[in-house]
């Protein structure tokens, strides 16, 4: 093992400068240009007037690693890293970030060092080096760089590992693009069958959201306060469905569980196949359909359970209406509020309007969606 401090030296501090009113300033990368994949997003790169002298060493070079020094949240750790492969001697980096530059590239392949830091971050390795302030987490950068260690390998082996990881990333990225195209196909089919639901001349019946359900508690958020504590989570048992498990169309594997006895006490918050799980906070309105193959679970307080009247509404159609209909998504935005993180007002959500086309048309659409989703699943193997 080798100390990171011996490979890169201390992280260089970034520059912010002054507002650029001429448009002729220096492009400066910020943490908003970081992606969770370790790739830099060059959209919306700001320019700044940098008057400070002797900053030539801070202009980014190919192979540089930029580390996030301030950011994150209680759920997302600070310390993300991105790998620079852009135009050299063009970009600087701001004061919320730091620069790690491999000193001896005859011994260390920069991308190998990056992948080591990237993997460590994804595994939560920066958590122990956080300083928390109100609304902001700071990385104890010097301490982290001094103490972090990288596996020593021959440079040839480092390059081989990176080539394999690069190919894997390309495969994952292509898969994401395929899934996005399939989602676009579903959206196009939705518009083809149902038209623009925001159009005042839309012919389909509409009603308040709660009237598309059977019971007033069919739109319900999970238990609050002392009803459910994290201390009661177990390694197995009845699954607790939380925001991280909600993806478009599918629910991903749960990470927390409850004992059968505790789940029985919370049976009013049960989610069953055919229900829709909706994010109540953060990325408000994100939905997933609870699959037929899953055993019943319990919803977290940040999740809404929506149980529609299946005699009038196909759950697949309703989920897609919540995703694709601007008429509905705008209403959800209007009933969401919060100074720090948006959250849905459940009482008001029940009163928004949704459309109810003929069941035959809903079922036709749902069959199409199910076929596309089967394609998604088959392509995963």
CA distances from residue 282 to 227, 270, 285, 342 in whole angstroms, order as listed: 22, 22, 9, 6
| One-character DSSP codes across 24-84 | -SEEEE-GGGB-TTS-B--TT-EEEE---SS-GGGS--TT-EEEE-EE--SSS-S--EEE-
HEC string for 246-267: ECCECECCCCEEECHHHHHHCH
Could you read off the pLDDT of 92-150 as tens digits, one per residue?
999 999 999 999 999 999 999 999 999 999 999 999 999 866 567 899 999 999 999 99
Tens-place pLDDT, residues 315-341: 999 999 998 888 898 999 888 875 445
State if pTM tops 0.85: no
Which of 141, 132, 3 shows the shortest CA–CA distance to 80?
A: 141
The pLDDT, as a whole number, for residue 193 is: 93
Mean pLDDT, residues 36-46 taken together: 91
Boundaries of every domain in the chain: 2-152, 187-378
DSSP SS3 for 174: helix
Closest to 202 measured CA to CA, from 335, 364, 321: 321
pLDDT band at 22 (very low <50, low <70, confident <90, very high): confident
Helix/strand/coil for 150: strand
Three-state SS for 132? strand
> CA of 92: how far to CAs of 30, 48, 133, 267, in Å?
9, 10, 26, 55
**Residue 290 DSSP symbol:** P
187-378 maps to which CATH number? 3.90.220.20
Asked if the domains 2-152 and 187-378 are classified in one and the same CATH topology, the answer is yes
Task: Tell me the fold of 2-152.
Answer: Adenine-n6-DNA-methyltransferase TaqI; Chain A, domain 2 (3.90.220)
């Amino acid at each position: 093992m080798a100390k990171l401090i011996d490979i890169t030296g201390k992280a260089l501090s970034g520059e912010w400068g002054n507002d650029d009113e001429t448009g002729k300033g220096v492009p400066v990368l910020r943490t908003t240009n970081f992606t969770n994949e370790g790739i830099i997003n060059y959209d919306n790169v700001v320019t700044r007037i940098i008057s400070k002298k002797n900053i030539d060493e801070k202009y980014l070079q190919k192979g540089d690693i930029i580390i996030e020094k301030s950011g994150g949240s209680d759920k997302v750790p600070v310390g993300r890293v991105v790998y620079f492969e852009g135009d050299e001697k063009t970009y600087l980096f701001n004061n919320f970030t730091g620069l790690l530059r491999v000193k001896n590239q005859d011994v260390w392949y920069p991308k190998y060092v990056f992948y080591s830091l990237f993997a460590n971050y994804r595994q939560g390795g920066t958590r122990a080096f956080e300083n928390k302030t109100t609304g902001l987490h700071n990385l104890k950068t010097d301490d982290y760089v001094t103490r972090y260690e990288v596996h020593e390998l021959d440079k040839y082996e480092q390059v081989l590992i990176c080539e394999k990881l690069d190919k894997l990333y390309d495969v994952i990225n292509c898969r994401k693009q395929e899934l996005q195209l399939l989602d676009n196909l579903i959206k196009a089919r939705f518009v083809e069958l149902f038209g623009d639901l925001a159009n005042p001349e839309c012919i389909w019946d509409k009603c308040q959201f709660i009237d598309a359900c059977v019971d007033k508690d069919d739109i319900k958020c999970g238990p609050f306060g002392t009803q459910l504590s994290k201390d009661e989570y177990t390694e197995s048992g009845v699954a607790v469905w939380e925001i991280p498990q909600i993806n478009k169309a599918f629910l991903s594997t749960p990470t927390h569980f409850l004992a059968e006895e505790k789940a029985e006490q919370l049976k009013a918050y049960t989610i069953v196949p055919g229900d829709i799980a909706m994010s109540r906070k953060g990325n408000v309105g994100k939905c997933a359909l609870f699959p037929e193959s899953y055993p019943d679970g319990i919803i977290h307080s940040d999740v809404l359970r929506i149980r529609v009247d299946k005699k009038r509404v196909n759950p697949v159609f309703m989920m897609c209406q919540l995703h694709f209909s601007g008429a509905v998504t705008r209403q959800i935005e209007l009933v969401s509020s919060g100074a720090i993180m948006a959250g849905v007002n459940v009482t008001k959500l029940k009163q928004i309007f949704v459309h109810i086309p003929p069941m035959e048309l809903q079922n036709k659409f749902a069959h199409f969606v199910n076929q596309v989703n089967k394609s998604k699943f088959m392509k995963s193997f």
